[in-house]
Amino acid sequence: MPEFGHGNEIRGKLHLIDLHNLCYLKQMPDTAIPDEQILSLMQDQETREKGFRILLRKYQERLYWHIRRMVLDHEDANDVLQNCMVKVFRNIDQFEGKSALYTWLFRIATNESITFLNQRKKRGSTSLDEEGAPIANQLKADAYFDGDELQAALHQALHGLPDKQRQVFNLRYFEEMSYQDMAAVLKTSEGALKASFHHAVKKIEHYFRERGLE
């Protein structure tokens, strides 16, 4: 793979796999390589692309689902993921190691998702929740959504949360991220994060109780 240049060229070279092609995923080599080794590879021009490929294999699926829970649509999530990985490749030399690599990656993915959602609002584009049908119904009709009715209901409940509470719940519940790492990702105090998660859980529990889904 040649050295990456401009944004469009980078996107053309990434070749991000379709995360739903499970057969291809199963053929991937072991990705249990320490982040320190990945960083060492990426910060050396001669091995940067090798390190980037390893980073993709190790983190792109987790980042995809983090983004997907924010933007909901599969195609939108893939687009945001591509933008995220372009930024990672361009800015890896600026990573100072003050936080863990994966929290830095999640911060970029979160910011890219928020930017995408804000741009979509400004364009007046139609998002899943603006088309009239409940989120749960639309997710169940999505060929890429393989969850059951309870999972669809959970996403519906999440959609009703304030943005910050939804982000906190996603990271804590789905990613099982520590509050310390979440503070690094969201640039928020641990106390505030704990409060946000508590309020999110209470609202979701109330949503399920109202619908007899406990």
- The CATH number given to 1-125 is 1.10.1740.10
More confident: 73 or 126:
73
pLDDT at 110: 97
In sign, the C-alpha dihedral spanning 175, 169, 60, 110 is negative
Tens digit of each residue's pLDDT (9 = 90 or more) over 56-82: 999 999 999 999 989 888 899 999 999
Tens digit of each residue's pLDDT (9 = 90 or more) over 132-143: 345 655 555 565
Give which of 29, 25, 47 is closest to 38, Cα–Cα: 47
pTM for this model (two decimals)? 0.76
Average pLDDT, rounded, for the chain: 81
Helix (H, G, I), strand (E, B) or coil at 40: helix
